[in-house]
Each structure stands twice: as C-alpha cells, then as structure tokens.
Amino acid sequence: MSKEKESVLAGFKAFLMRGNVIDLAVAVVIGAAFTNIVNAVVKGVINPVVGAFGTQDLDKYSYCWEDPCSTAKDGTTHGIEILWGTVLSSALNFLITAAVVYFLMVLPMSRFLARRARIMAAKEQAPVDEVVQDSELEVLKEIRDTLISQRGPSDSGTTVPRSR
C-alpha cells in the first residue's frame, strides 16, 4: 500500500515538474491580470464612446419582454428584462482581448517561427563545409581589416595583400 502511495506521489511530482504545467500556471496568472486591464479599457474608454449615442453605461441598455419591468420595494421583479447592454459589453471585452492577444502575441510569434524555419531550411540546403568556410573567411577578413586600421600610417608601410 505504501509503495502504491509512493508511486502515485512520484507520478504527481513528475507531472508538476513538467515545464508545460508551470507555463500554464504562469499563463493563467498573467491572463487574469491582463483581463483586469482589458476590462478597465472597455469600461473606461470603449463603453463611454459607444454610450455617446445613448447612456454612458452599456449595462443600462435593456429590453423589457413582458411589460411592465419594475422592481417592487420588497425586491420582487415584475416582467422579463433582457440586459442586452451587458452582453454587448462582454462581447467588446472579448473582441478587444482577442485582438490584443493576436496582434501582440500570436502574430509576432508566428512571424518569428516562420523566419526561424526559413533560416533552418537554408542551413540544411547549404553544405556544411561551405557555410563553415564562408563564416571563417568572413571572420578572417574582419580581423585583417581591424589590424590594418589599428596599424595606421606610422608603421613601416608594408602592405597586406587583399583577398580576392
């Protein structure tokens, strides 16, 4: 029985120590903080702009399905009130969040990965010896040019032959 507990605990520990679980936890925490920012932008900027055509609080937009929609002093409600302004506000929150995530995270990452794939494909196509020789030749040329520029006019005037 204790051996089974140890294997369950060891399996759970291995699960928690995987990198993707930690990444997921970080993503959830950052997502929650990011949600607060998006909600503030929607509530403080977007809702008043949309509300410029009516009330500034989208939550006040509603439709009464069964008249009269009212709340009595004892807290009971009469009628069926459809709060479509709240739905519109939530839809705006979603659209803004999706746009920010796409344009600031997904699009740059996909461009980076595509560029990286092109570089890797180019490296695979070129023979390794040519790539190494070209890079070594470039480094040697840079060293030669640096030495020439550091030597200056005060040296003996010997010249270094230029490469092809």
| Ramachandran category for residue 34: left, alpha or beta (phi over 0 → left; psi -120 to 50 → alpha) | alpha
**pLDDT score at 111:** 92
pLDDT digits (tens, 9 = 90+) for 33-91: 888 887 788 778 877 787 777 766 777 777 888 777 777 788 777 778 888 888 887 88
Distance of alpha carbon 33 from alpha carbon 22, whole angstroms: 17
The CATH code of the domain that includes 56 is 1.10.1200.120
Q: Are residues 80 and 28 in the same domain?
A: yes
Q: Which residues contact 75 (CB under 8 A, 6 or more apart)?
A: none
pTM of the model: 0.48
Q: Compute the distance between CA of residue 45 and CA of residue 41 in angstroms, rounded to an integer.
A: 5
Same domain, 146 and 83: no
Domain that holds residue 133: 127-164
Q: Are 100 and 43 found together in one domain? A: yes
If one compares 43 and 4, the residue with the highest pLDDT of the two is 43
Number of domains in the chain: 2
> pLDDT value at position 94?
84
Say which residues have a Cβ less than 8 Å from residue 146's Cβ, sequence separation at least 6: none
**How high is the pLDDT of residue 34?**
82
Give the per-residue pLDDT at 83. 83
Q: Using one digit for the tens of pLDDT, what is the confidence trace for 99-147?
A: 877 888 788 888 999 999 998 888 877 665 555 566 788 888 888 888 8
The DSSP symbol for 133 reads H
157 and 88 together in one domain = no
User: E-strand spans in 40-115?
Assistant: 63-64, 70-71, 77-78, 81-82
> In the predicted model, is pLDDT for residue 9 greater than 80?
yes
Q: Is 42 in the same domain as 86?
A: yes
- 42 neighbors 96 (Cβ within 8 angstroms): yes
